[in-house]
Amino acid sequence: PPPPPPPPAIPSAASNEYLRNYGAANTGAIAAWQTGATGRGITVGVVDSGIKLNHQDLGANISSLSTDIVAGRNQPQGSDTHGTRVSSVIAAPFNGFGTVGVAFNATILSIRADISECNDPDNAVCFRGSDLANALDYAVANGAKVINLSLGGEGPLGFAFEAALQRAINAGVVFAIASGNEAGANPEWPGRYASDPRFAGGIIVTGAHDSANQIADFSNRAGVSQSWFLSAPGVSVVVDCEDTSCWRVNGTSFASPAVAGALALLLEAFPNLTGRQAVEILLRTGREAGDLGADVVYGRGLLDIAKAFQPVGTTSSPQVKGAPVNVAIEPGAYVGGPFGDAMGRTGALSTIGYDAYERLFRIDMGAAYRIAPRRSYQPENPTPMRQSQVTMDGPGGAKLSLVAAVPVETPEPILNRYTPFDAPWLGDEVRQEALFDVTAGRMSFAAWQGKGGSRSPFRTGSGDGFAALAQADHAVRGAMVFDGLGFGPLTLSAETGAGDRRAPLRSVEQDVSSYARTALDWRGEHGGLSFSMGALDEKMGPLGAYMPTRSDFALPSRTRFAAFGGDLPLGGGLVLSGEAGFGRTEIEGRFLNLSSAAVSSTWRMALQSDCPSWALGCSRLT
């Protein structure tokens, strides 16, 4: 077979043709061009006052089927330039001259339908409903996928026009229609047919805005057609370039063809789309303007082609197991700190996804796995706590203790220092904790509950580095002390805990992380050693990740870990302590899983000293 044709040349952001007209940049058309969509192969019917067939800038994109629909006249060119200028917005080619249209490789099917015998003496050009009906039928019969109507009046156009409009929409053709230049609260006709249930979904009625995105003072507003209304550039639009000059024009007549060009780009880029789906996509992706949501001035907002060429609605990616993965990147989600930016940086997670309209897109799934927020290196502000303790002696030397702690009331700070891990977005919980402890001979049992960032009192031995990732807010611990045969006591302990997870502006995920740990600790006269092993279960993701459990990107994981540590007095009040550990993490997520366990390690070292006597307020230096 012959090789495919080379891709069409597209304007760059520095091209003179692109810079000459702000409308192309304002609508984001360049984003569509960069994907290869230029309107090629799409015929746009322009029902207007005719077109200059040998136009210096437009001629290459004018269909040979362009015609004059008025019976007996046979003058497709006409003397009025309105149709030529409207067509320039749609399909002025990228040829090193003049300006460039929104769909600069589309084909213009010009259908002249104007007459000069107007009822209003202020109008040099007007239209009959019967001629317009014939023009729509001609456009459909000759392959138009989009029809632009930059015309309007004060009343409906009659049965013949409405029947032709219905036939065209039933055939899959869609319309861009100007709203009118009377500064009215509602669009003129035929634009107002957009909100008629018979034609709903087949028409976008278009108002005009300027380079500052403000609705033009002359433009009719969205009004009753707000659900089917978009605004596009229609003030100081550069068109109709020939020889050494161009024309600068105003009107909703030159906003409507920008929408027609956008429809042509969508239908070329995504052949699976119906015309109604292309209309719906443009309306759903309108750039917000005026009041939030659809409003009576801007309708659905400003035309935004760049956003229309991004996935819309629920986006999913097919998986080898059959079920698709919902590609919804959760706000605030991140992987565990030990992964750094590795998952977001790799290209191995690039794949194909379908949006709600079954349009195919290249998708980087790694973008869902953002780097964990950095914790502050500033020392924490200590929270003064008021503690209450009740101790009771039981039979056989048993002792029961109940300890509760709440913050000391302090003056309101002038300025709170917050980090991504605390209030106010996490609920601004008051720090509180309670501990229940029973000791009977060599055995002990303790249960702890905390809130507001309280830390478990059981984090005192090896394995703390992994257990801390559970961010436990409740835990229990049992222990038994054995005689160390003269070398000091041995303590065998077991503990388990679980915790909730919080993130800014998100609902609390309850008991999504838990750990269990068994430890053996030896304490001698000159220091001590400890060894522990355990497991860490994280429903949201491994090693401190925050991937919401309802997300298809969640990475439920289980980490088995072991660690050892110790402390050694060095004399002079100095104590050296340290810990090292390693873990093996298994991940089984809906989108991503590991074929073999990930290996992680943790270590810490500390040097502690008594404070010198002259350091007032210092009890221990670490």
Convert 579-591 into a string of H (helix), E (strand) and C (coil). EEEEEEEEEECCC
The answer to whether 48 is a known catalytic residue is yes
pLDDT value of residue 358: 93
Cα distances (Å, whole numbers) of residue 541 to 284, 337, 342, 552: 34, 11, 15, 12
Q: Are 455 and 475 in contact (CB under 8 A)?
A: no
Say how many C-beta atoms besides its own lie within 10 A of residue 518's C-beta: 15
Q: What is the pLDDT of residues 119-141, one digit of tens each?
A: 776 676 789 999 999 999 999 99
Catalytic-labelled residue, pool 87, 88, 110, 253: 253
pLDDT for 257 beyond 50: yes
| Class for the domain spanning 16-308 | alpha beta
Dihedrals phi, psi of 230, to nearest 5 degrees: -130, 155
pLDDT for 425 beyond 50: no
Average the pLDDT over 200-204 and give the result: 96
pLDDT for 112 beyond 80: yes
Q: Are strands 43-48 and 144-149 parallel, antiparallel or unpaired?
A: parallel
SS3 string, 263-279, reads HHHHHHHCCCCCHHHHH
Rounded to 10 deg, the angle between the 256-269 and 82-91 helix axes is: 40
Average the pLDDT over 381-388 and give the result: 76
User: How far apart (Å, rounded) are the C-alpha atoms in residues 382 and 384?
Assistant: 6
* Interacting residues of 159 by C-beta distance below 8 A, sequence separation 6+: none
H-assigned helices in 222-292: 256-269, 275-284
The answer to whether 82 is a known catalytic residue is yes
With b meaning 16 or more CB within 10 Å and e meaning fewer, what string describes 542-565? bbbbbbbeebbbbbbbbbebbbbb
Domain boundaries, the chain: 16-308, 316-368
User: How far apart (Å, rounded) are the C-alpha atoms in residues 241 and 80?
Assistant: 15
User: How would you class 24 by CB atoms within 10 Å of its CB: exposed for 0-12, middle for 13-18, buried for 19 or more?
Assistant: buried
Please provide the average confidence, as pLDDT, over all residues in the chain.
90
> Which of the four pLDDT bands, split at 50, 70 and 90, describes residue 324?
confident
Q: What is the pLDDT of residues 462-515, one digit of tens each?
A: 888 899 999 899 999 999 998 866 677 889 999 999 998 877 667 788 899 999
The answer to whether 474 is a known catalytic residue is no
Say how many C-beta atoms besides its own lie within 10 A of residue 457's C-beta: 15
pLDDT value of residue 317: 87
pLDDT value of residue 420: 55
Lowest mean pLDDT among 32-41, 285-294, 321-330, 490-499: 321-330
378 or 561, which is more confident:
561
Average the pLDDT over 190-212 and give the result: 97
Cα distances (Å, whole numbers) of residue 335 to 92, 315, 536, 550, 554: 48, 21, 16, 15, 10
Q: Which two structure tokens, joined as six digits, stand for 87?
A: 């067509």
Q: What is the pLDDT of residues 265-283, one digit of tens each?
A: 999 999 999 999 999 999 9
Catalytic-labelled residue, pool 49, 57, 63, 82: 82
